[in-house]
Structure 1
C-alpha cells in the first residue's frame, strides 16, 4: 500500500495499544515503525527486474520482522523503560505495527515475500488496490483526532473503531473478489472454456469494479465485473503472445518474473525487442511494469543482460472516469480491446 496508509496504520496500532501511556508520541513512533519495512527501496538490487522482484523481500518477511521486533523492544526497555506497561506488551505492539504493514501489502496485487528466506512464491491476495481511500480514511481520521485533541478521556477508542472499520473493509474486498471470480467462472463454464489460470484484482481506487483475467494458452480473456451488474460478464479475448516465450529460455530475468507473477504475463514483439508485461498491476492498457528482455541481433534473439523498465503508457483521467462510471452504470461501454491493443506499440 501507499506510504500514507502504512504510516497511519502503524500509528493507529501503536496508539490503540500504547496511546494511554505514550500519548501523541505513540502516533509518531507507530508511523515511523509502520513505514520501516519499505526502506528496502534504498537498496540497489541491480537492474529493473531485480528492483521489482526483490522489493518486499527480506524486509517484509514475518521471520525477519519478528526478530526486529524483539530487538527494538529489548532496546527500548533497556534505554527508555516505562513502568506503565510490560515488555511483553511493548514487543506485541512493535510486532503488530511491523507485521500489519506486510500483511496489508499482501492484500495488494504486487506480491509480498512473507516467508523469506523460504523459496515460496510471493503472497498476493489481490483484493485491494494499492491506493484505496475507503481503507485509509478511517485510520487517518482517528490519527487526526487524537493528534489534535490528545488521548484524554479514552480517545484512543477512536483507533479501535478505525482499525475495526478498515478490517471490515478488507473483508468486503475479499467478498468482492469472490463475487467477481464466481461470476466469471460461471461464464467460462457456459462457454466451455477451461482456464489455465484465473487472476482477479480491483480497478483503481475502489473495490466495487473488478478486472478478471483468464489465462487460456495463446490468449487471455479479460472481464470487468461489478457489484451492480445484472448481466453475465463479457469476456474480451486478447492476444497473450506466449509463442515468444520460447526465445526467453536463457533470460534469468524472465525466469524471475515468471516466478514473481506466477505467469500472469503478456509477450509482445515491438520493433526488434521482446517486451514482457506484468498484467496484474494498473489497468487495461496501462501496466507500470514492462520490460524488454531480448532483442533481435545477429540473426537471432539475444537476451538483454541489463534490463531497464519500459516507459509505461499513461493511464489518463478519461479512462479512469469510464471505469468509475462503469461501476454505477453497468451498460457503459469500456473498450478493453482498444486499450489493450496499445501494448503492441
Structure 2
C-alpha cells in the first residue's frame, strides 16, 4: 500500500496497543514511523531496474525478520522515553505495527515475499488497489479522534477505524472472487483456453474491476463494475508474443518478470526493441512495469540487453474520467480497445 495508508495503520495500531499507558501522541508517532519503516528497502539499488522491482518487499517485509528486530526497537523506545516498565507493551506494539505492514501490502497485487527466509515466493491477493482512500480514511479519522479526545472514547474511535478498514479489505476479497468467477464462467462459455485469470480493482476504488485472462498466445482484458448486473464483460484480445519469450526466456530479466508476475506477462516489439510487461499493474496499452530487454539486429537476430524501464503513462485526466464513467456504463469501451 501507499505510505499514507501504512502511516495511518501504524499510528492506529500503536495507539490501540499502548492505550493510555503512554501519551497518545507518542504511541501514534512511533506507530507512524515504524509503519512505513519496511518500505525503506525501496532505496536499495540491487543492480538493475528489474531486480529493484522484484526484490522490493523482500527481507524488510518478511514477518520472520520483523519479529526478530522488534524487541530491539522496543528496547530503544523504552529507553528513550524512560519507560522500561512498559518494555513488553512496546514490544507487542512494535511487533504488530511492523507485521501489519506486509500483511496489508500482500492484499495488493504487487508481490510481497512474506515467507522469507524459507521461500521467496511473491504473494499478492490483489483485492485492493495500492492507493484507496476508502481504506485509508477510517484509521486516519480514528487516530485524529484519539489524539483530540485523549480518553477511552478516543480509543474506541481508533478501534472503530481499524475495524472499518479491515471490513473494507474483506469487502474487496468477496467482490474479487465474485468478479473472477463471473469472468471465468463467461470465458469458458466462449471457448477461450484460459490458463490463468486475475481480477483486481482499478485505481482508487473497489467498484470497477479489471480482469486479465492469459492464454498460451494472448491475453484478454476486460472490466466489470459492481453495477453491471447481467451485462456481459467486453473482453479485448492482445498478443503475448510467445515466440519472443521462447527466444529470451533464459535472459535473467525476462525470467525474473515471468516468475514474479506468476505468468501474467506479455512481450512485444516496438521501435526495434523487445519489451516485456507485467500485466497485473496498469491496463493496455500502458503498464507500470515495462522493460526493454533486447533489440533485433539487422540480421534479424535478437540481442539481449540490460533491462531499461519504459516510461509510458496514460493521460491522467482522460484515464480518471474514463474510470468514473465506466463504473456506471457497461457499454463504455476501454481505452485500449479503441
Q: Is TM-score (shorter-chain normalized) higher than 0.5?
A: yes
Query: Does 1:65 pair with 2:53?
Result: no
Asked whether 1:15 is paired with 2:15, we answer yes
Aligned residue in 1 for 2:291: 291
Which residue is 1:313 aligned to? 313
Checking the alignment, whether the CA contact within 8 Å between 2:289 and 2:309 is kept in structure 1 is yes
Point out where structure 2 has 5 or more consecutive residues left out of the alignment: none
TM-score (norm 2): 0.94
The change in CA–CA distance for 1:35 and 1:221 in structure 2 (over 3 A counts) is: same
Is contact 1:24-1:150 (8 Å) kept? no
Cα distance, 1:314 vs structure 2? 2.7
The answer (yes or no) to whether the contact 1:236–1:337 under 8 Å persists in 2 is: yes
- Once the two structures are superposed, what CA deviation does each residue of 1:29-82 show, in whole Å capped at 9, x if it has no partner? 000000000011111111110111111111101111111113222444456453
Q: Which runs of 4+ in 1 moved over 4 A?
A: 77-81, 83-86
Q: Residue 144 of structure 1: CA displacement? A: 2.3
How far does the alpha carbon of each residue in 1:81-130 deviate from its partner, in whole angstroms, 9 at most, with x for none?
5376461x322211110111101111111111111223342011000001
Per the TM alignment, residue 263 of structure 1 is displaced from its structure 2 partner at its CA by 1.4
Paired with 1:79 and 1:164, the residues of 2 have a C-alpha distance of 31
Which residue does 1:160 correspond to in 2? 159
* 8 Å contact from structure 1 (residues 19, 151) kept in 2: no
User: Is contact 2:251-2:304 (8 Å) kept?
Assistant: yes
Partner of 2:93: 93
Write out aligned runs for 1:11-160 (5 A): 11-22=11-22, 23-77=24-78, 80=81, 82=83, 85=86, 87=88, 89-147=89-147, 149-160=148-159
Deviations, residues 155-184 of structure 1 (Å, cap 9, x unaligned): 111110000000000000001101110111
For residues 84 and 68 of structure 2, what CA distance do their matches in structure 1 show? 24
Secondary structure of the 1:262 match is coil
Structure 1, unmatched stretches of 5+, are: 339-345
TM-superposition CA deviations, 1:10-43 (whole Å, max 9, x none)? 0000001113122211110000000000011111
1:274 and 2:274 aligned: yes
Give secondary structure in 2 for the equivalent of 1:307. strand
- Conserved in 1, the CA contact under 8 Å of 2:145 and 2:158? no
Q: 2:141, 2:158 within 8 Å by CA — same for their partners in 1?
A: no
For residues 298 and 219 of structure 2, the distance between their equivalents in structure 1, rounded to whole angstroms, comes to 32
Q: CA deviation at 1:132?
A: 0.2
Instruction: Kindly state the Cα deviation for residue 258 of structure 1 after the two structures are TM-superposed.
Output: 1.1
With the length of structure 1 as denominator, give the TM-score of the two structures: 0.92
